[in-house]
Amino acid sequence: MDAVSSKRILIVEDEKDVVDLLTLNLRKAGGFTIATASDGAAGLTKARGEKPDFIILDLMLPKMPGLEVCKLLKSDPATRHIPILMLTARAEEIDRIVGLEFGADDYVTKPFSPREVILRVKAILRRGAADETADRLSAGPITIDPSRHEVLVDGKPVDLTSLEFKLLRTLMQRRGRVQERDRLLNEVWGYESVIDTRTVDTHVRRLREKLGKAGDIVETVRGFGYRFREK
Ligand code: CA
């Protein structure tokens, strides 16, 4: 890949070993330009200033925790489109869940295999590229525009996290068909094994709340999962 089409990745991590491992493997994979920041505050400044194509964000950081960085970037219209892959330690399960709710796109648990990280990065970037050319979807009062990551209910924008957006889009694309919880976990969250299907319930509840009166278009199919109502 040439310099023009290479993806700019910002790695925010204070552990030098981890930065070196990621840098080495991203270079080997090719197609990436790498910038680094060794604390949360510096990471936030670089992300805002340089608007990288992708951020790998560790949660345990000096000066500002990774979760805070994630929250600030994902709540700012200027940076919210930048995908974030979180690095978490095994003990940080709660942080991981909170991170996904703040809009992080995915996570890997330390110690990770660099190959796994690169696969995730590529998958997320591919998904983003597919969104750019995806058509608008419309059903009842709800319209979503994948290229702009925008959701409208009766013409008014609704603020969704990237997970809620993916969940809504998946349900809309399969309108009228029941989607099982573990299938949603697999496709929306990217979990390979079922961790806890209640995660899906929590997110559906929040999604419905945000959609307001239009929320009941997402139906619960008791014992199975969820369905975007046909009519
Ligand atoms: Ca760290």
Distance (Å, rounded) from C-alpha 8 to C-alpha 6?
7
What pLDDT does residue 150 have? 86
Question: For the chain, how many structural domains are there in total?
Answer: 2
What digits encode the pLDDT tens for the residues 76-129?
888 988 999 999 886 666 677 777 777 788 888 888 899 889 988 988 888 777
Phi-psi region of 63 (alpha: psi -120 to 50; beta: other; left: phi over 0): left
- Shared domain for 40 and 138, answered yes or no, is no
Q: Report CA(86)–ligand 1 centroid distance (Å).
A: 11
> At residue 223, does pLDDT exceed 80?
yes
CATH of the domain at 77: 3.40.50.2300
Using CA atoms of 9, 62, 78, 144 in order, give the dihedral in degrees to the nearest 10: 80
pLDDT of residue 20: 96
Distance from the alpha carbon of residue 147 to the mean position of ligand 1, in angstroms: 33
* pLDDT value, residue 49: 97
Overall average pLDDT of the 189-196 stretch: 63
Q: What CATH number is attached to the domain comprising 175?
A: 1.10.10.10
87 CA from centroid of ligand 1 (Å):
8
Share of the chain above pLDDT 90, in %: 52
Is 206 found in the same domain as 177?
yes
Query: From ligand 1's centre to the CA of 204, what distance in Å?
Result: 32
* Distance from residue 61's CA to the centre of ligand 1 (Å): 5
Q: Is the pLDDT of residue 194 over 60?
A: no
The reply to whether 31 and 108 lie within a common domain is yes
Regarding whether 96 and 145 lie in a shared domain, the answer is: no
Q: Which of 130, 165, 186 is the last residue of a domain?
A: 130
Q: Report the separation in Å between the CA atom of 46 and the middle of ligand 1, taken as the mean of its atom positions.
A: 17
Q: pLDDT digit string (tens) for 43-82?
A: 999 999 999 999 999 999 999 999 999 999 988 888 988 9
Q: What is the Å distance from ligand 1's center to 89 Cα? A: 9
Mean local confidence (pLDDT), 10-19: 97
Same domain (yes/no): 167, 84: no
Q: Which of 130, 158, 187 is the last residue of a domain?
A: 130
What integer pLDDT is reported at residue 191 of this predicted model?
63
104 and 215 part of one domain = no
Claim to verify: residue 14 and residue 100 sit in the same structural domain: yes
| Cα angle: 127, vertex 133, 138; to 5 degrees | 95
Q: Report how far residue 120's alpha carbon sits from residue 130's, in angstroms, rounded to the nearest whole number.
A: 15
CA of 19 to the centre of ligand 1 (A): 10
The pLDDT of residue 168 is 93
Does position 3 have pLDDT exceeding 70, yes or no? no
Pair 98, 198 in one domain = no
Ligand 1 center to residue 25 CA distance, Å?
A: 18
Let me know whether 15 and 122 are in one domain.
yes
d(CA 58, CA 141): 39
Q: What is the 83 CA–ligand 1 centroid distance (Å)?
A: 19
One domain for residues 158 and 172: yes
Domain span at 202: 134-228
Q: What confidence tens digit (pLDDT) does each residue in 197-206 have?
A: 777 888 899 9
Q: Assess whether pLDDT exceeds 60 at residue 4.
A: no
57 CA distance to ligand 1 middle (Å): 9
pTM score over 0.75: no
72, 96, 130 — which closes off a domain?
130
Confidence at 2, pLDDT banded by 50, 70, 90: very low
Give 186 Cα–ligand 1 centroid separation in angstroms.
28
Averaged confidence pLDDT in the chain = 87
- Same domain for 140 and 208? yes
Phi-psi region of 180 (alpha: psi -120 to 50; beta: other; left: phi over 0): beta
Q: What is the pLDDT of residue 22?
A: 96
Looking at the structure, do residues 55 and 145 belong to the same domain, yes or no? no
**Ion ligand 1 neighbours, Cβ < 5 Å:** 14-15, 58, 60
Give the number of other CB atoms < 10 A from CB of residue 185.
Answer: 20
